[in-house]
Amino acid sequence: MLMATGAVLAGLIVLAWSADRFVDGAAASARHLGLSPLSVGILVIGFGTSAPELMVSAFSAAAGTPRLALGNAYGSNIANIALVVGTVALVSPLVMRPQIVRRELPLLCLATLVSLWSLWDGRISRPEALLLLGLLIVSLAWSLLRSKQAPEADEAAHQMSLRRGLLWTLAGLVVLLASSRLLVWGAAHIASAFGVSDLVIGLTVVAVGTSLPELASSFSAIRKGQHDMVLGNMVGSNFFNTLAVVGLAGVIHPIAVEPDALIRDWPTMAALTLLLWLFGLGSKRRGRINRLEGGVLLLIYIAYTVWLISSVVMSQG
């Protein structure tokens, strides 16, 4: 148990560090290749901060515990909106770009509805998982086509050369692989020791741990005055989690869906996604999440966590 706990802690720390290196390298490479700043936030940083979830889920599925992958993806989405956005908005109100309110959040809502279809029969089969991945590829291709622009001569792009950016991207990915595997090993041993289901472990410990890069990058963006990058990061990360993380795990190993995922976890994720969109649409100040709305999101996360823990205690009692 002590070794498993140490593996989880070490895995989380290295995971956050390697994801940060990966994001830095990928963002610099993307700027040199001529992607727009908003696209860097949604596509590059969104993918980069979802890389921990992707690697954890792939190894979980390969190890025969794909429900951990499902819990990790949905738990991370819940944590990204309610915990990350809620906490950051409490510190500093967030301004949404019109593109996020009119285009990106509706697409995320659509992806969330598609994920419900894949869950409905109680099993995510390989064809359903392949469809999720196919939708992701189509969405990415469309986003890249409309985001391509002339390379920008900004300071951030020249602080890191294209060669160095590619090297950091590769190095970060390699360390992500190793730390993700360490985290999965520790989480699986803790789950078996306490008799807790893989789904619950994925929704709590692993989900919050793999959301740390989003939290760190969000506070970094706030310090630099780039509020829109916080929401771009969140939208991109949740989009990848919903389609890529679950899709990849389902291709590796079909996922048996627990009833709680349909009754508790998906509805919470969908409600938070819709609520975030409504906050942007209903704001009188051109798409803004104020401190009150941030507090509401954070309270929802606390209530959800209490609900989750209570359900585990009752099932074991």
Q: Residue 146's pLDDT band (boundaries 50, 70, 90)?
A: low
Q: How high is the pLDDT of residue 171? A: 84
Residue range 294-302: mean pLDDT, rounded = 93
**In the chain, % of residues over pLDDT 90:** 18
- CATH code where residue 163 lies: 1.20.1420.30
Q: How high is the pLDDT of residue 144? A: 67
Query: pLDDT (tens digit, 9 = 90+) per residue, 272-294?
Result: 999 999 888 875 555 678 899 99
Q: Is the pLDDT of residue 218 over 70?
A: yes
Q: Which residues pair with 288 in a beta bridge?
A: 95
Q: How high is the pLDDT of residue 154? A: 47
Q: Report the number of distinct structural domains present in the chain.
A: 1
Residue range 148-152: mean pLDDT, rounded = 47
Tell me the residue range of the domain where 298 lies.
Answer: 2-316
Residue range 163-169: mean pLDDT, rounded = 81
pLDDT averaged over the chain?
Answer: 79
Q: What is the pTM of this model?
A: 0.77
